[in-house]
Structure formats: structure tokens, C-alpha cells
């Protein structure tokens, strides 16, 4: 997977009304199939893509979306810029991508009240209704209410939504919580249901607390993961972790990466079946074994 090309496609779509897959394939010298795969990567990352069929159709991004400094963490931004600058094909397109990345405002310690990331739900199956409600609330400064499930239990919340943030594969909404009388992050997937209250609120002054934003995922343990990968799973693992994290070892391949040890990773590894084996860390190996045992018991085996 070529990160500079993905970022290039994003900037192209941001600067054009509509582009066809053929146009993107020609511009970046890749196949249409690769274009669709990279568009899917952008969609999974939360970029609100839209597609229009017929004459003057193609792919585009909704009008009220812009690439904010909140889209990247500080480390992610540096990594993306480094990837572009180190890309072997240093042509005008690559330089344009680097220039646009460098032009993003990097103020990580404070984000003004105008920072709103509005998205549609095309990339978030199962969250479509909640995303649509939040989008309308954000655009019109309307309160929402819903039943929120957390480790502390189930509570009913009345909220003033201010922004949505994509962090470590999940979407969060940053709101003023009237129950707690304070600004809080809420994981959108944890709302059992969400409704517009219809009350228009006067926006409060706010800033995104970066330490709190980072803390959203601090509970997740990260470890250096080593995998043995069979040749039949090589392409998929390379696309997942990046080619630089996979090396040839005998008849198989070895993959090394620092990953969050959570249920998503366990599910991802299980999806490979016997094609990928966890060598370390031991706690992750145990989680895989426990999950396999639970599956066998579920099927009475």
C-alpha cells in the first residue's frame, strides 16, 4: 500500500468536485482496482466519500468536509509527511502532496470552537442513523439525548455536541454533558439509541484537551507483535501492516509491528485462520487460543 498515493487521492478529491476511477488511475498510474481499494481505505478512515452515477458522475467528498489538524495525531502527521517525502517517485504530484500536508495547521494544544468535522455514515456501517443525527445537531447547534453504555453502567445523557474525532479506529463525539456539567468524549458506538432533542443551544467556548484526547485510548495496551505469515496471506498482511513490516523467512514470512492488544486485533488475526500464527507476545497468543476454544465450545466440538 502506497501511503503517498492514498494521500494524493485524498487531496485530489478535496480540490475537485468529482473524479472518476479512470481519472484517478491515470493520474497516479495505478489500476482501477487499486483505486477502489484505496478509496475503501479512505472511507474506513472516516473520509465522507460520495459517488454519483451517470453523466458528470464519479467520486467526491461532501462539500462541508475539510481536512483538519484533528484528522492526524502529531506522530501520525509526522509519519505521513515522512512517507511522502521518502517516496521514490518525487514528481510534481508528490511535491504537491507534501506541500499540502505541510500547510495543515499543527496546533495540538488548542482547537478553536470553529473546529467541526462533519461526516456522513457511509464508512461506518451500523452507525448510520446516529451519525446522521449528530451531523444535523452539529450543523445547527441542537442538543441530543441518548442511552449511553459504559463500564460504569447505563446512563441517560443530554448533550451539546461540538465535534467528532476519529481515534484509533473508533469515532468519538466531543460534547458538553449536562448530566456531568462538563465536556466529555463519548464513543458513538456505545449509544444504544440517540435522539434530537430539538433545543438550540448557544455554543460555549471550548478547547480540545490533547492529554484527554490521547487518554481516550490509553487504556489499550500496545505491544510489539511478531507473526509468522504464510505466502497465501502475504498480500493481505502487507496491506494491513505495510510492506516494511514484513520480511521473508525461509518458506514463510515474518511480520513485526507495534499494535494495540484488543478485541479488534484478536478478531483480525482470527480472520486469517491458520495462515497467520502469533509468535509473541504470549498474552496475545493466549487470547487467540481462548477465542478458538470458545468457538469450539459454541459449536459443541
Check pLDDT > 80 for residue 43: no
CA 237 to chain centre: 18
| Mean of per-residue pLDDT scores for the chain | 75
**Rounded Cα gap, residues 202 and 268, in angstroms:** 43
Higher-pLDDT residue of 115 and 223 is: 223
CA 66 to chain centre: 15
**167-176, 196-205, 290-299: segment of lowest average pLDDT:** 167-176
Higher-pLDDT residue of 70 and 184 is: 184
For residue 136, give Cα distances in angstroms to 131, 159, 164, 279: 9, 14, 12, 47
Higher-pLDDT residue of 96 and 182 is: 182
**Rounded Cα gap, residues 274 and 232, in angstroms:** 10
pTM over 0.85: no
Amino acid at each position: 500500500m502506497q501511503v503517498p498515493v492514498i494521500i494524493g487521492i485524498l487531496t485530489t478529491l478535496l480540490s475537485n468536485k468529482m473524479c472518476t476511477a479512470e481519472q484517478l488511475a491515470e493520474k497516479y498510474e495505478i489500476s482501477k482496482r487499486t483505486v477502489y481499494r484505496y478509496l475503501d481505505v479512505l472511507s474506513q478512515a472516516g473520509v465522507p466519500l460520495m459517488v454519483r452515477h451517470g453523466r458528470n458522475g464519479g467520486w467526491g467528498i461532501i462539500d462541508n468536509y475539510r481536512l483538519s489538524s484533528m484528522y492526524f495525531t502529531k506522530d501520525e502527521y509526522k509519519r505521513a509527511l515522512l512517507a511522502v517525502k521518502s517516496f521514490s517517485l518525487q514528481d510534481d504530484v508528490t511535491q504537491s502532496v507534501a506541500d499540502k500536508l505541510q500547510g495543515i495547521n499543527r496546533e495540538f494544544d488548542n482547537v478553536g470552537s470553529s473546529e467541526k468535522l462533519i461526516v456522513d455514515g457511509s464508512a461506518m456501517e451500523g452507525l448510520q442513523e446516529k451519525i446522521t443525527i449528530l451531523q444535523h445537531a452539529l450543523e445547527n447547534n441542537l442538543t441530543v439525548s441518548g442511552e449511553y453504555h459504559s463500564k460504569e453502567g447505563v446512563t441517560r445523557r443530554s448533550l451539546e455536541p461540538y465535534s467528532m474525532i476519529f481515534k484509533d479506529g473508533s469515532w468519538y463525539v466531543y460534547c458538553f454533558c449536562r448530566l456531568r456539567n462538563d465536556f466529555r468524549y463519548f464513543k458513538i458506538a456505545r449509544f444504544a439509541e440517540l435522539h434530537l432533542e430539538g433545543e438550540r443551544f448557544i455554543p460555549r467556548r471550548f478547547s480540545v484537551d490533547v492529554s484527554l484526547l490521547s487518554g481516550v485510548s490509553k487504556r489499550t495496551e500496545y505491544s510489539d507483535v511478531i507473526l509468522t505469515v504464510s505466502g497465501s496471506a502475504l498480500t493481505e498482511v502487507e496491506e494491513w501492516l505495510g510492506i516494511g513490516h514484513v520480511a521473508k523467512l525461509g518458506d514463510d514470512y515474518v511480520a513485526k509491528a507495534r499494535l494495540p492488544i484488543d478485541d479488534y486485533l484478536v478478531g483480525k488475526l482470527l480472520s486469517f485462520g491458520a495462515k497467520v500464527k502469533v509468535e509473541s507476545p504470549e498474552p496475545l497468543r493466549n487470547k487467540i487460543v481462548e477465542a478458538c476454544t470458545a468457538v469450539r465450545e459454541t459449536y459443541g466440538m
